[in-house]
Structure 1
Amino acid sequence: MENPGSSIISALGAGSGINFVQLANDIAEATYASQRLNISNRTETLEARISAAANLRNVLTELSSALGDRIRNGDLSRQGNVADPSVASVSFPQGSTPTGTYSLEVSQLADSQTLVSQSYTDPSDPVGEGTLTIRFGTVAGANFTEDTNQTPLEISVEASDTLETLAAKITSQSNDALTAYVAQGTDGAQLVIKGQDGAVNGFTLEGTNNAILPIGGGGQGDLTYLNWDPSTDAGELRATAQDAIYEFDTVEYRSTSNTVTGLPEGITLELTGTNIGAPTTISFDTDNSAISNVVTDLVAALNDVAAIVAQDGAALGGTLGNDPGARALKRDLANLTREIVMPNADPGEPRTLADLGVEITAEGTFELDTERLNQTLTDNPAATAAMFTSGVFGVFATIDNLARDNTARNNPGSLGGSLERYEDLIENNEDRLERIAQQQENLRERLVRDLVAAETRISSSQSTLSFLQQQFDLLSNSQR
């Protein structure tokens, strides 16, 4: 659309030859050009700072995450060993460092009762109508002692129930105490019921019909056909529920499960076999090579961080040369090897990264004294392994705190705080550019109005001058 000022000037027949509209645009743009350039330069600098600070923040976060993953793998902590691995496996809570040596002799594993019913022709055969009562307790030979702490399971059996639907009812209504299914073997369809491990988790079956059956009942279709107790066992019992029995440091224990807890130093045993008369040994060792590898990798990673800080945080020419977050990180790195990693360490045990052979040079780079690391591993293997856990203290906690402290956005003296500040400044610059654009537009419109008025006055003056010139010429010609 043609500018109104341009149309007015054209309509008045201006003869100055000057494009006052373009002139107004040029003057308005030139008036604010230096301000826009300054803001653009500052924004460019801020964006470079944001990029550098974000890169450092990401490097720190990745270092903490990678070390945490390595720690959680568990290969750096002390490892439990069972001399005869066929007998048991050993584990312990993350963060603990067992040091003892123990003997283990397993004479019996925990087991569950398995009951297989008499045969039916087909899984879809009806089983009768009434109530099937399952009582829990201890089966010992031909005797059953009910466990009164366990409520009997009473299953309502409908006339439409088959062997298959009854199996499903037993499983669903027992709250995981029993598992039942139908096996279609060479002897026909048989109901298989399995209980939980532990001697008190044996069970009996007692079927009660809703109506008196005709003489000759008691076979398939009669609920009592499923009855079982140890005194009448005719081969239905295939496995007896029993406790695990073991000796730990020659002291006998019983457990309803093969997973044994409550042992010294928080260790847990998973019993897998027996070793009657041949006790095995449980011990705990440190994997020195795994710790050496992770310390070597940590030094390399810290040097990567230190190199970025040295380049971007250089006082002269560094993108973050005067950034408080970069300066804080540089100080933290300089003090890192002396920081107390294990405040609860006993005298003589490693407490710092320096005790692991990690040193920092005057130039701000990290080095590994492998001789000192090996000596620490030899003198204090358990205490060294304790430094590589995911607890509130240790190497990971120290590096994680370093990353968190230097990337927290609510800390104005950190890289996170610097990012927050730079982003706010860029937002302010954008607001200023919007205000300048509005001011420039206002100036342009005012200049157009003023220049249009000036052009109008010039045009009027030119018309008056032309009239006077004509009159003067006429007067001059009449006097000749």
Structure 2
Amino acid sequence: MASISSLGIGSNLDLSTLLTNLQTAESQPLVQLQQRQVSYTSKLSAYGQLQSALTTLQTAAKKLGDPVFFQSVKATAGTAEVLSASAGSTASAGTYSINVTQMAQSQSVVAVGQVSAKTAIGSGTITIDFGTVSGGTYDAVTGKYTGAAFTPDATRTAKNITIDPSNNTLEGIRDAVNAAKAGVTASIVNDGSGTPNRLVLTSTETGKASSMRIAVAGDAALSNLLTHDPAGTQNLQQTIQAQNAELTVNGIAVTSASNTVKESIQGVTLNLLKTGTSGLAVARDTAAVETAINDFVKAYNALQSTAGTLTAYDASKKTGAALMGDSTLRNIQVSLRQVLTSPQSGALKTLSEIGMGFQKDGTLAVDADKLKKALSENLEGVAGLFSSPTASTEGYGKQLSALVDKLTATGGALKVATDGMTASLKDLDEQYDEMQARVDAKMEIYRAQFTQLDLMVSRMNSTSSYLTQQFASMSNSSK
């Protein structure tokens, strides 16, 4: 059976173009569905941008809706070289005079020098515990105590370190001590003498109660190197004495095992840096509240800007943005404004009392001077304006945060709109697939019909050519 390799060749008709035009016409419903898909996808994306802006606003509102936030205090040191400070929620406002007379430090002891750090010394068990040295006298030149007592720290457990032929050199002992994590760091210092290698042991904690006592059970050489009892045999030389930090707070003596002094002033942590005097001011952190309020205004205005972009009309292109005329967005804007214009029940009732107000374009603006004055003169009133410690529904911060939860929760306006767009897109996808299948089926019918037409015309043309040739032949014969 004859066949056509390319549509239209047999008939010399432009059937391919005709078939393409038919496909374009049949596909018009698909184009319309695609246009609707683009529109719905744009709306879904726009709702996503709107939700993101609402989430940012809610974060700022939640911060202001927390009563504890307004109770935060700030500690400021007068002399930053002497100390720094931080304050927690339990700190009370006040001023203090701090005099740091002694810094806390870790004890450091050093062994006698060895010719080589790689020569075996001896094996045994090293036991390290910590405690407080008291009484007796101390010779700073020799680094030894005479007549002192050692009281172990009951809160810490002594640590045993095994020294055997695998680690009985000075380097091996150093590594074993460090690996044991016994509250001591070990290192080797070369002092440049004939026996230069000296093992140095330093407590990892500061304070008088972190003085070391080292007992050795084993070879005499190991014992002679490391045994150290402030109340007895002292084969190590103390080069840095363990000591507490000592300071006065408003003339009251304070000691601390660490240079981080907690609760000497309730709720305040002092970080001692050097000896000296410094003032300390503990006050309500109004600067943080001011920043939070300004951040809230920025978040609200950013939402308004996003809404403006999503509802804009381009006159030159005569097209509107994805949510132009959208009732969901318009209702959200109205709801937000209603919250922020409803008077509160506290000492301060409206935003205007702290210098906040709406502009003609719907954004919020802040009078910085009025806000600072309100924060300095009536911080409790400002706190009550945004949050109530007793009522869960009082305060702009709490109310606005609750509104955003309502809008984005199941059944909320934004959630319903978003789910509706998602469902519509899914439905359009199904319609598109079904329509495409129908168009493809119809085009197959057209293609088969055109192929038959092409074959039929081709045969007719062949017959016509044959008859013409025969008639011509007969005419020539008759002559």
Same fold (TM over 0.5): yes
2:150 match:
144
Q: Quick one: which of 208, 213, 218 aligns to 1:204?
A: 213
1:155 match:
161
Q: Is the contact between residue 171 and residue 178 of structure 1 (CA under 8 Å) also seen in structure 2?
A: yes
2:438 match:
439
Between the aligned partners of 1:168 and 1:387, the Cα distance in structure 2 is 62
Identity fraction in percent: 22
Aligned residue type for 2:365: E
Q: Is the contact between residue 113 and residue 201 of structure 1 (CA under 8 Å) also seen in structure 2?
A: yes
Distance change (3 Å), C-alpha of 1:22 and 1:445: farther
Between the aligned partners of 1:36 and 1:363, the Cα distance in structure 2 is 41
Post-superposition Cα deviations, 1:362-405, rounded to whole Å, max 9, x if no partner, equal: 6523222334313213313587699999x999999769948964
Distance change (3 Å), C-alpha of 1:20 and 1:366: same
Aligned residue type for 2:181: S
What SS is found at the alignment partner of 1:126? coil
Distance change (3 Å), C-alpha of 1:235 and 1:4: closer
Aligned residue type for 2:118: S
Between the aligned partners of 2:423 and 2:397, the Cα distance in structure 1 is 32
1:88 match:
83
Distance change (3 Å), C-alpha of 1:250 and 1:21: same
What SS is found at the alignment partner of 2:107? strand
Between the aligned partners of 2:46 and 2:162, the Cα distance in structure 1 is 72
1:323 CA drift (Å): 3.5
Aligned residue type for 2:40: L
Asked if 1:180 is matched to 2:186, the reply is: yes
Post-superposition Cα deviations, 1:241-284, rounded to whole Å, max 9, x if no partner, equal: 23334444555444322222245552212223445xx6844433
Distance change (3 Å), C-alpha of 1:252 and 1:383: farther
2:197 match:
189
Between the aligned partners of 1:56 and 1:443, the Cα distance in structure 2 is 43
Q: Is the contact between residue 208 and residue 224 of structure 1 (CA under 8 Å) also seen in structure 2?
A: no
Aligned residue type for 2:83: A
Q: Is the contact between residue 119 and residue 189 of structure 1 (CA under 8 Å) also seen in structure 2?
A: yes
TM-score (norm 1): 0.69
Listed as ranges, the matches of 1:322-333 within 5 Å are 322-323=325-326, 325-333=328-336
Distance change (3 Å), C-alpha of 1:280 and 1:235: farther
2:228 match:
228
Aligned residue type for 1:191: L
Asked if 1:378 is matched to 2:380, the reply is: no
1:114 match:
108
Question: Which range moves more in the overlay, 102-111 or 17-26?
Answer: 17-26
1:260 match:
261
Q: Quick one: which of 363, 370, 378 aligns to 1:365?
A: 363
Between the aligned partners of 1:458 and 1:135, the Cα distance in structure 2 is 110
Distance change (3 Å), C-alpha of 1:393 and 1:156: farther
Post-superposition Cα deviations, 1:309-366, rounded to whole Å, max 9, x if no partner, equal: 245347995531353542343134414534799x9xxx54x68755542212465232
Distance change (3 Å), C-alpha of 1:23 and 1:296: same
Between the aligned partners of 1:300 and 1:37, the Cα distance in structure 2 is 42
Between the aligned partners of 1:382 and 1:190, the Cα distance in structure 2 is 63
Between the aligned partners of 2:350 and 2:197, the Cα distance in structure 1 is 68
1:158 CA drift (Å): 1.6
Listed as ranges, the matches of 1:336-351 within 5 Å are 337-338=340-341, 348=347
What SS is found at the alignment partner of 1:169? helix
Q: Is the contact between residue 358 and residue 368 of structure 1 (CA under 8 Å) also seen in structure 2?
A: yes
Distance change (3 Å), C-alpha of 1:222 and 1:281: closer
Q: Is the contact between residue 244 and residue 254 of structure 1 (CA under 8 Å) also seen in structure 2?
A: yes
Asked if 1:167 is matched to 2:174, the reply is: yes
RMSD of aligned alpha carbons: 5.0
2:117 match:
123
Q: Is the contact between residue 82 and residue 273 of structure 2 (CA under 8 Å) also seen in structure 1?
A: yes
What SS is found at the alignment partner of 1:230? coil
Aligned residue type for 1:243: N
Aligned residue type for 1:244: A
Give the length in aligned residue pairs: 428
What SS is found at the alignment partner of 1:156? strand
Q: Quick one: which of 295, 318, 322 aligns to 1:319?
A: 322
1:193 CA drift (Å): 0.8
TM-score (norm 2): 0.69
Between the aligned partners of 1:22 and 1:439, the Cα distance in structure 2 is 21
1:182 CA drift (Å): 0.9
Between the aligned partners of 1:387 and 1:242, the Cα distance in structure 2 is 50
Between the aligned partners of 2:258 and 2:229, the Cα distance in structure 1 is 24
Any stretches of 5+ residues in structure 1 without a counterpart? 214-220, 460-480
Between the aligned partners of 1:50 and 1:256, the Cα distance in structure 2 is 61
1:38 match:
32
Between the aligned partners of 1:20 and 1:454, the Cα distance in structure 2 is 9
Between the aligned partners of 1:296 and 1:435, the Cα distance in structure 2 is 54
Between the aligned partners of 1:8 and 1:458, the Cα distance in structure 2 is 10
Aligned residue type for 2:192: T
Q: Quick one: which of 103, 126, 132 aligns to 2:126?
A: 132
